[in-house]
Structure 1
Amino acid sequence: MNKFKYYFVLLLAGIAIVSCSKKDDDEVVVTPVRDYAVQYKADNDSIEKFLKSNYIENVTADFDVKISKITDATSQVSIWDQTTYKLESRDVYSDGITYKVYYLTLRKGAGESPTNTDKVSTAYSCYLLNGTLADSSYGLPFTANLFPYANSNTVIQGWAEILPKFKTSSSSTVSNDGTITYNDYGAGVMFLPSGLAYYANSSSAIPAYTPIYFTFKLFDLQRMDNEYNSSSSGIVFIGDGVPDYLEDVNGDGYLYDFRNTTKYPNPPKELIDDTDGDGIADFLDFDDDGDGFTTRFEITKAAGEVGVVNGFNYGIKLYFPWDPVVDNPLTPNVDETEPRGIPRRPTGELANPSLPESATNVRKYIEADYTENPRKRIHLDNTYPIKIN
C-alpha cells in the first residue's frame, strides 16, 4: 500500500533528481525534472491513444472491470466511442497547467461524495497502459487520506481529483465472520497523467513519467477537519470544529491550499474558498472571517448551554454543529439531539433597548438565529462578535 504514498517532491517543480550514473568516480550526474506542460502533452496523447485502441471487455456484477486491446474493430467498440459507460473528463489545475483527466463511471454510488481532503475506504487495481498490473488491494478495503499533508496513508493527487465525482455506499452489513458487505458503492476507472501520479518517481512496477489507470470502488468516507499547526517535530492536526466539506465555500467539492505558489502559481478565482481573503483557505484557517476571534471560539456554546438545563436539551456537544441534529435511533443509549446549529449574528431584543447596539449592549439570540436557512453563521461574519474599541 505504501506504493501510493504521496511524494512531496511532486509539490516542488524544478527540483532536480539524482540519477545513478556518474561521469567519473566523484561526479554525480543530476537530471532536471521534466517540464510539466511538455510531459502532460505526451501523457495525454498516450492516454487518448489507449482509450481509442482498447475496449471494455467485461464488467461483472461486482463492478470488476476488464479492459483489453481491440482485436476486432467490428465487434469491439473503443472506450472512446462506447456509450454504455460514458467517458467523462475533469479539468484539474496543478503545476501551473490545466490537466484534462478522463474517467469512467461504472456506478455513481448512492451515499455521500468525499471532498478531496477527506479520508476514504476503497478497493483498487493499478495498471500501466500496456495492461500490466502494477498494484492492487485485491478487492479488500484500503483506507487512505486524500489530503496530501496527512501524517499517514496519503495517496497521489489523481485520486483526490476523481473520487469526489463518486459517492460511497448507501449502507453496509456485517456477517457473522466480520466480513463487511457494502451496498450501492461507487465504482469507476480513472486514467491519470504522470503529473497527477508519480511523475519523476519510479519503482520496480511503475517507471518515472508513466501515465497509469486505476479501477476502483468507493466504499466509505470519514469527514476530516484539517486545520493544523506545523513545527520542527511535524504537523499536528487540530481542526477548528467545522469539517472541511462544510468549509467548501463555492460548493464544488474541492479545497486547495493555494499558498503553495510553486504548484499553483496562478489559481483560477472560482477555485478559491477563502471567506476573509487572507490567502488561507477556510479549511486551513483558524479564523475564517478574519475578525480576530477564532472559529472554534465563535462556535462554542455559552456556559450553561450543554446538556439538559431547566428541562431544555441543549445537546451534549461543547460546540454548535453546522445545523440542528436529530437523535440517531441506532444508538438508543445516547441522545445525539442538537436542536441548534451555529447561529447567525443575533437579531433579538437589545439588552438595553434605549441604547444603540454595541459590544456592551448586544442583542439576544432568538431560536431562528440557530435554525433559519439560509443564514450567515457568526464564524463567517466579521461584524460579530462586536469588538470593544
Structure 2
Amino acid sequence: MNKFKYYFILLLAGIAIVSCNKSDDDDVVTVPLRDYKEQYKADNDSIVNYLKTNYMTVIHAPGTPQDLDVVIKKIVPGDGNVSIWDQKEYPLQTRKVYSNDVNYEVYFLSLREGTGSKPMNTDRIVASYSGNFLNGKVFDSSYGNAETFNLFAYSPEGGVIEGWSEIFPQFKTGTSTTATGTGVITYDNYGAGVMFLPSGLGYYAGTVGSDGPAYSCLVFSFKLFDLQRMDNEYTISSSTGGVVILGDGVPDYLEDVNGDGYLYDFRNTTKYPNPPKELIDDTDGDGVADFVDFDDDGDGFTTRFEITKPTNEIGIVKVGDVYINYGTGFYYPWDAREDNPGTPNTNEFEPRGIPRKPTGANGTFVPEDYTAEGRLRIHLDKTYPIKKN
C-alpha cells in the first residue's frame, strides 16, 4: 500500500513548503505552509460538525470478512438516525497527541478492542482499512484484504501517516487460523474501530490520492489482525547511504520506559520543540530514546554487548553431572519464558532473563540475578560492567 508510505519528506513545522500555481498572467504564486495550530482549530471544527451530522451503521456478520464493516451516511432531517456524536453504543473516545508543537485531541470509536496484544506505535501490523473524506468520498481501501504496515511514522524506512501510529496502539490483535492445504489465513476476535484524523496527523499540505485536496481531514474504519514486534535501532550504510535496521537485542515494546505504549524520537526538535516529560523514554538522558539508542545506559558498552550470553551458556550445557537448557536464543529474553507449543520445531524455553548487576562473591552472577522481580537489568545499569583502565 504505497499510498500510506511517506514517500515524500514529511512536512516540518517552521519550514516553509511551497506549491507553485500559475495565475492568469503566468506568474508563479508561492503558497506558504499553513500554521499547524490554526489549521488544527479549523480541522477540529470540521470533524466535530461531521460527527454531529452523520450517523453510522455497523455490520455484524461473525465469521465473515464483512464483520464490523462500517457505513457512514449524512443525516437527513426527520429520518430518526442518531449522530455518531450522540449515539451511545460505541462511545466516542479521544486521544491526546503532541506533534508539531500542537496538542491534538483525536476522536476515535472502538467497535471491538480485540483479544490479543496491543502494538507499539513503532511495530508492524497486519490490518485492513477503508478511508474517506468528510464529504463521504472514499479515496482508498484495502477491500477487506489484510495488508502489512509499518506503524513507525518517522522510520527512516518509511511508515504510515502519523494518525495511524497514534490510534492503532489503542486496539488489540485477534486470533488467526491457517487452512490446511490452501494456507489461507482467517482472523477472528480482532480489534476494529474508526478514527477521525485532522490533517496535521494525515498528509497536511500534501494531496491525498489522485485528487484529494491539501489539508484534508480523514476518516478511517479499520481492523487490526496481527502484529510483528520490532527492534528499530538503525544506522546508515557508509557504502550505499541506505538504512540498515540492526536492533540492540531488546524489542521496542520492552524499551517503553514509562509503560504508556508509545515511543517517540524527540531528536527532531523542529517537530517536537517542547515534548512533555512524561512522554520521554530515555534511560541515560542523552536525548536519544532507548528504542533507537544502541547504548541505553550510556556506559560506553552497547546494549547488545551487555546482554549477550557467555559462549558456554547457549543451548543445552552440562554443568557438573547435570544438563541445563540455557535456551536457544543468543540473547537473553527480557524474562524467563516457556516453550511455545504452537512452534513444535523450535524450543523457546529459557530459564533466565536479562540479569541485573552480579551480586555473588567476587562479582559472579547468582540465579536470583536472572529472575528477581524488579531487577535493574545490566544494560540499563551504567555501573556495569566495570570499566578497566
Regarding TM over 0.5, the answer is yes
2:292 aligned residue (284, 287, 295): 284
Aligned to 1:257: 265
Is residue 2:225 matched to residue 1:227?
Answer: no
The 1-side partners of 2:354 and 2:24 are apart by 65
Whether 2:275 is the aligned partner of 1:267: answer yes
CA distance in 2, matches of 1:275, 1:73: 58
Q: CA deviation at 1:11?
A: 3.7
Q: TM-score, normalised by structure 1?
A: 0.93
**CA deviation after TM superposition for structure 1 residue 4, in Å:** 1.3
Could you say what secondary structure the match of 1:8 adopts? coil
Secondary structure at the counterpart of residue 135 of structure 1: strand
Q: Could you tell me how far 1:178 is from its partner in structure 2?
A: 2.9
Equivalent residue for 1:154? 159
* Residue of structure 2 aligned with 1:315, choices 327, 332, 357: 327
**Equivalent of 2:203, from 195, 198, 201?**
198
Q: Secondary structure at the match of 1:233?
A: coil
Aligned partner of 1:20 in structure 2 is 21
1:339 has 2:339 as partner: no
What CA distance in whole angstroms lies between the structure 1 residues aligned with 2:388 and 2:334?
27
Alignment partners' CA distance in 1, 2:43 and 2:123: 28
Q: Distance in 2 between matches of 1:155 and 1:189?
A: 16
C-alpha contact 1:248 1:255 (8 A) present in aligned 2: yes
Partner of 1:360: none
1-side partners of 2:78 and 2:101: how far apart? 39
Separation in 1 of the partners of 2:107 and 2:341?
41
> Who is 2:339 aligned against?
327
Matches within 5 A, 1:165-184: 165-174=170-179, 176-184=181-189
In the TM superposition, residue 68 of structure 1 has moved relative to its aligned partner by 1.1
Letter in 1 for 2:21: C
| Preserved contact between residue 144 and residue 153 of structure 1 (Cα < 8 Å) | no
Aligned sequence identity (%):
61
Unpaired stretches in structure 1, ≥5 consecutive residues: 351-362
TM-score w.r.t. the length of structure 2 is 0.93
1:68-107 Cα shifts (integer Å, max 9, x gaps): 1112457211111111001000010001111110000000
The residue type paired with residue 369 of structure 1 is D
Equivalent residue for 2:64? none
Report the counterpart of residue 110 of structure 2 in structure 1.
Answer: 105
Contact 2:13–2:36 (CA under 8 A) maintained in structure 1:
no
CA distances 1:161-219 after superposition (whole Å, capped 9, x unpaired): 00000000134343543321111000000000000001101142421001010000000
Question: For the structure 1 residues 73 and 252, does the alpha-carbon distance in structure 2 shift closer, same or farther, using more than 3 Å as the test?
Answer: farther
Q: CA deviation at 1:121?
A: 0.5
Match 1:218 to one of 215, 224, 234 = 224
- Cα 1:153–1:168 shift into 2, 3 Å: farther
The residue aligned with 1:9 is 10
Deviation of the 1:9 alpha carbon:
2.5
Alignment partner, residue 380 of structure 1 = 380
Unmatched tracts of structure 2, length 5 or more: 62-66
- Superposed CA offset, 1:339-380 (max 9, x none): 111000111122xxxxxxxxxxxx211111111111110001
d(CA) in 1 for partners of 2:141 and 2:314? 47
Alpha-carbon distance in structure 2 between the residues aligned to 1:73 and 1:105: 28
1:305–1:60: structure 2 CA closer, same or farther, 3 Å change rule?
same
After TM superposition, give the deviation of residue 30 of structure 1 in Å. 2.1
Asked if the contact 1:143–1:153 (Cα under 8 Å) also holds between the matched residues in 2, the reply is no
> Does the CA-based 8 Å contact 2:58-2:71 persist in structure 1?
yes
Instruction: After the TM superposition, list the runs of 4 or more consecutive aligned residues in structure 1 that deviate by more than 4 angstroms.
Output: 22-25
- What is the alpha-carbon distance in structure 2 between the residues aligned to residue 153 and residue 284 of structure 1? 15
* In the alignment, structure 1 residue 135 sits paired with structure 2 residue 135: no
Q: Size of the alignment, in residue pairs?
A: 376
Q: Which moved more, 1:289-298 or 1:363-372?
A: 363-372
CA distance, structure 2, for counterparts of residue 153 and residue 288 of structure 1: 24
Of 87-96 and 201-210, more deviation after overlay is shown by 201-210
Q: Note if 1:84 corresponds to 2:89.
A: yes
CA offset at residue 153 of structure 1? 6.1
Residue type of the alignment partner of 1:16: I
SS in 2 for 1:312: strand
Deviation of the 1:22 alpha carbon: 5.5
* SS in structure 2 of the partner of residue 92 of structure 1: strand
Deviations 1:213-265 (A, max 9, x none): 00000000000000011256122111000000100000111100100011101
Deviation, structure 1 residue 15 = 2.8
CA shift, 1:386, in A, is 1.3
| CA shift for structure 1 position 28 | 3.3
Residues 124, 227 of structure 2: 8 Å contact kept: yes
Deviation at 1:150, TM superposition (A): 3.8
1:368 pairs with 2:376: no
Q: What letter matches 1:328 in structure 2?
A: N
Q: CA separation in 2, counterparts of 1:294 and 1:11? A: 32
8 Å CA contact 2:5, 2:159 repeated in 1: yes
Does the 8 Å CA contact 1:128/1:134 hold for their aligned counterparts? yes
Superposition deviation, residue 131 in structure 1: 0.7
Change (3 A) 1:377 1:73: farther
Q: Which residue of 2 aligns with 1:116?
A: 121
Shift of 1:21: 1.7
Deviation at 1:59, TM superposition (A): 2.9
